[in-house]
């Protein structure tokens, strides 16, 4: 993955998700903390296994840099993960924090996003997500604004329809909820001209319902947020 173009700015994961939540995108519960002590408190509050990530405006693709620890459980493990991640920060990452999130799981990972096309303007995307998204390239685009029918047809456009039905003991994907995500992205495109791109990847299907587990909002170079 390439770095953001010079001058472009990205919101950190937590702020990206907060913005998307305002537009109706379901987000896994999470806390942003400064250090290992805060991480332990956050993990206790969330309960169970958690995800620990390094988070910062200039950090775009955490997985590629090994800045995501999945399924961390217990005070010691959480504290160790937070300490290691903070130590992995580079000077050019700027201000960083630790994000502790509820560990959601599902076999299916989708991707959704917003892209401002040079010819067709704001477009909304839905596809098969996860780390293989760009290799698989099973995606559908529509121009924003789009209506519910368009969003349903995007779901139908995906080649991997089997992924959307009942799958490995999990129920079929809640299409209405998926439509909600796409309509939310379209609304965001209209109301926030300063947002040039959004990635929600993965959008994990948890018991049929899509939940954004990572997200990146890219802002126009001259915008302030």
Q: Report the distance separating Cα 116 and Cα 68, nearest Å.
A: 28
Which one of residues 35, 64, 95, 134 is an interface residue with another protein (CB under 8 A)? 134
The reply to whether 4 sits near another protein by the rule CB under 8 A is yes
9 closest CA partner among 221, 200, 195, 199 = 221
Specify the residue, 35 or 134, whose C-beta has the smaller distance to another protein.
134
Ramachandran category for residue 94: left, alpha or beta (phi over 0 → left; psi -120 to 50 → alpha) = left
Residue 181 touches another protein, criterion: CB under 8 A: no
Looking only at residues 60 through 99 of this chain, which bind another protein when binding is defined by CB under 8 A?
A: 60
- In the numeric block, the tokens 């693709």 are attached to 61
Q: Enter the DSSP assignment of 217.
A: E
Q: Is 154 in the site for another protein (CB under 8 A)?
A: yes
User: Rounded to a whole number, what is the largest CA-CA distance in the chain?
Assistant: 52
Q: Would you give the DSSP letter of residue 47?
A: -
Residue 188, number of CB atoms within 10 A of its CB: 22
Q: Does 123 bind another protein (CB under 8 A)?
A: yes
Does residue 167 bind another protein (CB under 8 A)?
no
Residue 6 or 87 having the CB closest to another protein: 6
Q: Is 180 in the site for another protein (CB under 8 A)?
A: no
Residue ranges that bind another protein, judged by CB under 8 A: 1-5, 8, 10, 60, 111, 113-115, 117-121, 123, 125, 127, 133-134, 137, 139-143, 146, 149-150, 153-154, 157, 197-199, 201, 216, 218
């Amino acid at each position: 993955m390439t770095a953001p173009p010079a001058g472009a700015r990205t919101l950190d994961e937590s702020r990206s998700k907060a913005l998307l939540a305002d537009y109706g995108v379901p987000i896994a519960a999470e806390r942003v903390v400064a250090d290992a002590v805060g991480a332990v408190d956050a993990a206790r509050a969330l309960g169970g296994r958690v995800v620990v990530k390094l988070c910062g405006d200039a950090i775009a693709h955490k997985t590629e840099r090994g800045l995501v620890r999945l399924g961390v459980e217990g005070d010691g493990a959480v504290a160790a993960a937070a300490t290691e991640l903070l130590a992995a920060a580079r000077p050019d990452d700027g201000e960083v924090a630790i994000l502790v999130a509820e560990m959601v799981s599902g076999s299916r990972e989708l991707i959704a996003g917003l892209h401002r096309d040079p010819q067709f303007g704001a477009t909304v995307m839905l596809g098969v997500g996860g780390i293989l998204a760009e290799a698989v390239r099973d995606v559908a685009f529509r121009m924003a604004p789009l209506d519910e029918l368009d969003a349903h047809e995007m779901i139908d456009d995906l080649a991997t329809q089997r992924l959307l039905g009942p799958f490995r003991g999990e129920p079929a994907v809640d299409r209405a909820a998926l439509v909600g995500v796409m309509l939310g992205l379209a609304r965001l495109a209209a109301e926030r001209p300063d947002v040039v791109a959004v990635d929600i990847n993965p959008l994990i299907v948890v018991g049929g319902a899509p939940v954004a587990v990572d997200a990146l909002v890219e802002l126009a170079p001259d915008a302030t947020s």
